[in-house]
Amino acid sequence: MAKKKTNLKSRTKTRRLKPQSRAGRAVGKRTASPAALQYIPWSSVPLEELNPLLQRQMVWGQEIMLARVLLKKGCIVPEHSHHNEQLTYILEGALKFWIDGREIVVRAGETLCIPSNMPHKAEALADTVDLDVFCPPRSDWINKTDQYLREKK
C-alpha cells in the first residue's frame, strides 16, 4: 500500500506577525526608517566630556547601543536604573558596582549583565575603559538628558 504524501505547508497555518510598535522605545528619527548598515571607526566618534572624570563615545542602531566609557580613578556613577538591559565589558581597569544588595568588582576581561530596572552604582577603582551595550538604545544618552552623569563627581 502506497503512503499518501502530505504537504507540510497545507498542514501548518501561516501566521503573519504584526510589526511591533516602537512608540515606547523611540529614540529619534532612526527608528522611523529601515535599518542601515553602519561602519563607524571609534576615531570618527566625538568624545563627549560629561564631567572631569567621565567621557564617552557612543554609536547606536534601531535596537542596540554601544558606548565606550572612559572613567578616571575615583569617578562615581551615581545610583540609577533604566528600562534598558545592559552588558558592561571592562577593557582596562576595574569598576566596583553596588547592585542587588552586593558589591561586585568587574576587572579587565570581565563582564556584568545588568537586567532592566535594576538600581546600580559604580566607582572606578583605576583609570578604566569599558564598553557598555544597551538594548534598546538609551534615549536619555542620545538626547543628552542624563544629568546624573553631567555633574562633578
For 83-87, what is the mean pLDDT?
A: 98
Lowest mean pLDDT segment, chosen from 2-6, 52-56, 58-62, 145-149: 2-6
Answer yes or no: is 51 within a domain.
no
Answer yes or no: is 41 within a domain.
no
For 140, counting Cβ atoms within 10 Å of its Cβ (0-12 exposed, 13-18 middle, 19+ buried), the class is: middle
The confidence score (pLDDT) of residue 35 equals: 83
Query: What are 13-56's pLDDT values in tens digits?
Result: 433 433 333 333 344 444 556 788 999 999 999 999 999 999 99
Answer yes or no: is 111 within a domain.
yes
Mean pLDDT, the chain, rounded, equals 84
The confidence score (pLDDT) of residue 2 equals: 52
Contact at 8 Å (CB) between 31 and 21? no
The residues near 2 (Cβ < 8 Å, ≥ 6 apart) are none
Band (pLDDT 50/70/90 cuts) for residue 10 is: very low
Answer yes or no: is 128 within a domain.
yes
Structure letter (DSSP) for residue 143: T
Q: State how many domains the chain has.
A: 1
Q: Is the confidence at residue 152, as pLDDT, over 90?
A: no
Answer yes or no: is 2 within a domain.
no
